[in-house]
Amino acid sequence: MKAHAIQYLLELEKLGKIDRNDGFQGILNAIAGDVRSKHRKRLQRQQEMESMNSALRHLAERKKYFEEQINSYHDYVEGAMNTMQRGKGYAQLSVDTCDKFSHSFRKKRFVLPFTKQYFHLRDLQKSGKTPQFGSFKYAAKHLYDKGILLSIDQYSPRQFDKVDLTISSNKAGVFTLDLDSSMLGVPTRITTAEIRMEDLLQAQYKNCSSLSLFNGMVKVNLNLFLYQINKKYVPTPTPTLPCLISMADIMR
């Protein structure tokens, strides 16, 4: 025990904390000072602990409050999107027979026969994977010409007629984006991503002019892209269609 004490005293002496010339009186003074201030330091630590606990309780209350606010916001957005998209009535157009086609035209969204969208919906129906709120397939060139699509990495605008963008929704307010290419003659999935309506609205609130999709691979005009989604997924009043529509009338 004494040997350890001497070893520590010599270490403190090397550090210049104490001096042997006064018989290491400095260490005795330090010990005496600690003894005298023991009670004061204990009270100080208790006060600091109480202050810290109070701060933690306050932060926990604030956290709970903000979590409730966030949950209320998400519930409101989800409810609003459910109401809007269910009101849109995105049952997909039947393409099996002429009779079903005419009936669907009268009651559901009309799709021009033998178009990209027509064959897209037919393939979804055959596979039994039709999204609940609809799916829309666009040629990248079409979106580029409308100013919605700005750029696609590694593709020039002259190649956009070989690239398709599909927007689908199977959950209110959530959209699945698929980018496909037919550059090699066979449709190939390039990438896929998911985006939420609240993310689009947040970006618009921040006055962003453009939006990057697919980890920056695709850039779109935010306002026009959001307008296109609203046009397809947010209900708008539609005029009453004639009761009788023939295939000949539709094909004109």
pLDDT at 155: 93
94 and 106 Cβ atoms separated by less than 8 Å: no
Q: Which two tokens stand for residue 157?
A: 């605008």
83 occurs within a structural domain: no
Which residue range forms the structural domain that includes residue 212?
A: 88-251
pLDDT at 243: 36
pLDDT at 242: 40
Q: Is the dihedral of CA 177, 182, 187, 190 positive or negative?
A: negative
User: Under 8 Å CB-to-CB from 93, ≥6 apart: which residues?
Assistant: 101, 104, 105, 108, 109, 110, 111, 118, 121
pLDDT at 216: 93
pLDDT at 88: 52
- Per-residue pLDDT tens, the chain, 252 aa: give them: 778 777 877 887 787 777 777 777 777 777 787 787 878 888 888 889 999 999 999 999 989 888 888 887 777 777 766 666 565 544 343 444 334 433 433 345 667 777 888 888 888 889 888 898 889 999 999 999 999 999 999 999 999 999 999 999 998 889 999 999 998 888 899 999 999 988 998 899 899 999 999 999 999 999 999 999 988 887 654 443 343 334 334 334
How many Å apart are CA 50 and CA 134, to the nearest integer? 57
171 occurs within a structural domain: yes
**The total number of structural domains that make up the chain:** 1
How many Å apart are CA 5 and CA 203, to the nearest integer? 67
CB atoms near residue 104 (< 10 Å): 18
DSSP H helical ranges for the chain = 2-14, 25-88, 98-107, 116-127, 140-145, 197-205, 222-233, 247-251
59 occurs within a structural domain: no
201 occurs within a structural domain: yes
How many Å apart are CA 135 and CA 121, to the nearest integer? 8
51 occurs within a structural domain: no
72 occurs within a structural domain: no
Q: Which two tokens stand for residue 188?
A: 């190939």
How many Å apart are CA 55 and CA 3, to the nearest integer? 46
233 occurs within a structural domain: yes
Tell me the whole-structure pTM to 2 decimals. 0.55
pLDDT at 104: 39
- How far is CA 176 from its chain centroid? 11
